[in-house]
Structure 1
Amino acid sequence: MRNGRSKLAVLAAIPLLAAACSNGDEDSGSAATTDTELSASLTGAGASFPDPLFQDWIYSYGNDVQQGVDINYQSVGSGAGIEQFLEQTVDFGSSEEFLGEEELAAAADARGCEAVQFPVVFGSVVIAFNNPDLDGLVLDAQTIADIYSTEITSFDDPAIAELNPDLDLPDDEIVPVHRSDSSGTTAVFTHYLTTEVESWADEYGEGKELDWAPGLVGGQQNDGVAQGISQNPGGIGYVNQSFAQEAGLSVAQVVNADGTPIEPTLESTIAASEEADVPDNFQFAIDDIGGDGYPIAGTNWIFTYTCGYEQGAADAIIDFWTWALTDEAAQDVAGELGYAPLGDELTDRVIAELEKTNSENGDAEGAEDDAEGDDADAEEGADEE
């Protein structure tokens, strides 16, 4: 479960990832992008949760697919990403929390057209430690909530010992680390605790930002939390799986809805994502995960607009995300980093939604052409009369 072993588990699951991404066409990945040479400079901002994957995708796309497209993705946190998207200072936004109705209305008012949002990847939020002796420690929602509310303050607490009868637990003081910025990872983590633990829901609730219990350590973005865990003896925190892998942190098994302790792996993340009920508006959460699924799983959404882009920029946005979602090598990289694919049917739905990007620009031009044609027909009819 530590970095090396997690990596082996992920790599062993790559054939499963490839099968999940396949559309039954061996060339489906490369065929998804245009043969036209594109030229654009794009800026995106938002979640740190998918940043390792996005940076890899951006590098590969710019070097191997469309050399004329430059993409700068700024890992600033989901809250800042949504803010910058609504302020229209970036071409696309990213978050682990979807845009709600108020945010969609604000986007439409500011831009003069509708926003588009769609999921691009699933990932697990893991509970990580800097103590290798705790690798594989079993926790459940109640013990995690009690740690973050400071009801549990040491690793040998009776509640943790009950879940780990075969482990010789240290009496080290627990130092919980949380996100100090507006964070989609926090939204996923606290949504899980809120749906599973009534006392947490009553006292703390869920969201991208929280009024945490006193005495906790804060960190900026996922890498800041990983750093906070590593630098504090007894550190424990919640981060995306890829950040735990990169930092070489130990991770907990978390008891799911069926009472089974589950290790966060690519396979268990895929199992969790398959239980998601994804509506037409793509506003959903992954809840009540049982079976082989890891219970703290989240989604990353991308946000664009249906108008206001230069066509070259819109073409590049559509092409890049189509490539990322369908190219076999791109999806293999996702698996290596612990992210789970969308699956065939959902990918098709997402690409259809993605293609609405800048679509109202074309509709508006078409409407003007139709109107001009109608006026000409009317004038011609009047002359004949």
Structure 2
Amino acid sequence: MKAASFGRAAAILSAASLALVACGDNGDDNGNGNGNGGDDNGTDTSELSGSLSGAGASSFQLAIQEWVIEFEADTGVTVDYDAVGSGDGRANFLNGAVSFAGSDALMDDDEYAESQERCGEDGAFHIPTAILPIAVAFNLEGVDELNLDGETIAQIFAGEITSWDDEAIAEHNDGVDLPDTEITVVHRQDSSGTTENFTDYLNQATDTWTWEADSEWPGEISAETGDGTSGVVEAANSTDGTITYADAEQAVQGGLSTVAVEVGGEYTEFSPEAAGQAVAASELRGGQADNDMGFDLARDTEEVGAYPIVQVAYTIWCNEYDDADEADLARAFAEYIVSEEAQQIAADEAGAAPLNEELTEQAQDAVSQISGG
């Protein structure tokens, strides 16, 4: 299947369809097409055995920890996932240490070329697994809600605004009693897809941020650090006056307050629907494997109601594995995580926007091309 055949994906990612899974019943006992025995359109899981390993993004850890429980209950196959961050996850996948990677950032062309050495001439491909808003999250005594625009967010994270009562913050928050507390920025210490998505937003949507999108925080900006999503949430909670960026659901569960972001003249709070609306304005990137489903996200949208600080959490798979058994396990688990059941788990556990019916069909077709041996 050519990349052009996926060109309709952006158009079908409407906010309404992302808010609900609309895949319908696929004919097995669990309604996901991946229960014991499989179905005509999926991998026969009745004779699967063994284990599968993955590594990468911590952003959808809340979902994947439930996926592995349900998948093992259905198939008897164990899945081990190490939330080491997107960059290390991709590296571990490319060197053959794990069967799949979780990543909030896409492989670059050099990584794709490296994947062709491991995964055959068609290389590896991305499938969107969870659409997740990234919260600008803060810990400020006496303040539970804040409005900010992109330029002010960029100035804070660049170290140009250093006090919470700065006029640039106050003008977006009439009636809020802002203290003169010093602002402490907390960023990810590890190589992180969340960092790459957040800095991509700052780069695209603002004039203040002059650094390119990167999975590593700019070294010249002095700030506090945390390892993984849980690390930045913990660090932000430890000191009054902190601000960070993190998977929204984990930030809220960690007790942090969050910022409503100005888009199109209105302030938008994060939600699965708002995140989906931002992705709907985006196009598939193309240029790698024919069945690749990586998005080129439009961060500078002015569409009212869209929340542009968003990441698409991908899983990355080989088109061809050396071992047929590994390919069968990979295909079965990939089919499961884009199923109705698994997408609902992602919505319930991680606050993700589930894939809609047509995008699910695109993902299932991409996954069906996994081969081995």
Structural RMSD (CA): 2.2
1:232 maps to what in 2?
239
C-alpha deviations, 1:126-172, integer Å up to 9, x for none? Answer: 01112363322001111111111111011110000001112111111
Structure 1 CA distance for aligned equivalents of residues 248 and 307 of structure 2 = 12
2:6 maps to what in 1?
none
By how many angstroms is 1:32 displaced? 1.6
1:102 maps to what in 2?
110
Q: Are the counterparts in 1 of residues 25 and 32 from structure 2 also a CA contact under 8 Å?
A: no
Structure 1 CA distance for aligned equivalents of residues 221 and 124 of structure 2 = 38
1:62-101 pair list within 5 angstroms: 62-63=72-73, 65-66=74-75, 68-101=76-109
Q: Are the counterparts in 2 of residues 117 and 301 from structure 1 also a CA contact under 8 Å?
A: yes
Structure 2 CA distance for aligned equivalents of residues 89 and 110 of structure 1 = 11
Equivalent position SS for 1:133 = coil
Q: Are the counterparts in 1 of residues 338 and 363 from structure 2 also a CA contact under 8 Å?
A: no
Structure 2 CA distance for aligned equivalents of residues 31 and 350 of structure 1 = 14
1:186 maps to what in 2?
195
Structure 1 CA distance for aligned equivalents of residues 26 and 127 of structure 2 = 25
Residue 218 of structure 1 aligns to which amino acid in structure 2? T
Q: Are the counterparts in 1 of residues 285 and 296 from structure 2 also a CA contact under 8 Å?
A: no
C-alpha deviations, 1:21-65, integer Å up to 9, x for none? Answer: 2134485862421514221211100111111111111112212x1
Given the alignment of the two structures, is residue 54 of structure 1 paired with residue 64 of structure 2, yes or no? yes
Structure number with larger C-alpha Rg: 1
Given the alignment of the two structures, is residue 148 of structure 1 paired with residue 184 of structure 2, yes or no? no
TM-score by length of 1: 0.83
TM-score by length of 2: 0.85
1:143-292 pair list within 5 angstroms: 143-201=152-210, 204-256=211-263, 258-279=264-285, 281-287=292-298, 288-289=300-301, 290-292=303-305
By how many angstroms is 1:307 displaced? 2.4
1:10 maps to what in 2?
none
By how many angstroms is 1:123 displaced? 0.4
C-alpha deviations, 1:242-264, integer Å up to 9, x for none? Answer: 211220211110112x1221111
Residue 33 of structure 2 aligns to which amino acid in structure 1? A
Equivalent of 2:366 in 336, 353, 358: 353
Q: Are the counterparts in 1 of residues 200 and 212 from structure 2 also a CA contact under 8 Å?
A: yes
Residue 335 of structure 1 aligns to which amino acid in structure 2? A
Given the alignment of the two structures, is residue 312 of structure 1 paired with residue 325 of structure 2, yes or no? yes
Given the alignment of the two structures, is residue 133 of structure 1 paired with residue 133 of structure 2, yes or no? no
Structure 1 residues 19 and 138 mapped into 2: Cα distance closer, same or farther (>3 Å)?
A: closer
How many residue pairs were aligned? 340
Q: Are the counterparts in 2 of residues 126 and 238 from structure 1 also a CA contact under 8 Å?
A: yes
Given the alignment of the two structures, is residue 21 of structure 1 paired with residue 21 of structure 2, yes or no? yes
| Greater mean deviation of Cα atoms: 267-276 or 229-238 | 267-276
1:369 maps to what in 2?
none
| Greater mean deviation of Cα atoms: 181-190 or 280-289 | 280-289
Q: Are the counterparts in 1 of residues 186 and 243 from structure 2 also a CA contact under 8 Å?
A: yes
Residue 263 of structure 1 aligns to which amino acid in structure 2? E
Q: Are the counterparts in 2 of residues 148 and 213 from structure 1 also a CA contact under 8 Å?
A: no
Structure 1 residues 27 and 276 mapped into 2: Cα distance closer, same or farther (>3 Å)?
A: farther
By how many angstroms is 1:304 displaced? 1.4
Equivalent position SS for 2:216 = coil
C-alpha deviations, 1:214-266, integer Å up to 9, x for none? Answer: 4310111111110110012111100001211220211110112x122111122
The sequence identity of aligned pairs, in percent, is 32
Residue 61 of structure 1 aligns to which amino acid in structure 2? F
Structure 1 residues 19 and 269 mapped into 2: Cα distance closer, same or farther (>3 Å)?
A: closer
| Greater mean deviation of Cα atoms: 204-213 or 271-280 | 271-280
Tell me, which stretches of 5 or more residues in structure 1 are unaligned?
Answer: 1-15, 362-385
Structure 2 CA distance for aligned equivalents of residues 125 and 19 of structure 1 = 17
Equivalent position SS for 1:334 = helix
Structure 1 residues 19 and 213 mapped into 2: Cα distance closer, same or farther (>3 Å)?
A: closer
Q: Are the counterparts in 2 of residues 17 and 332 from structure 1 also a CA contact under 8 Å?
A: no
Equivalent position SS for 1:295 = coil
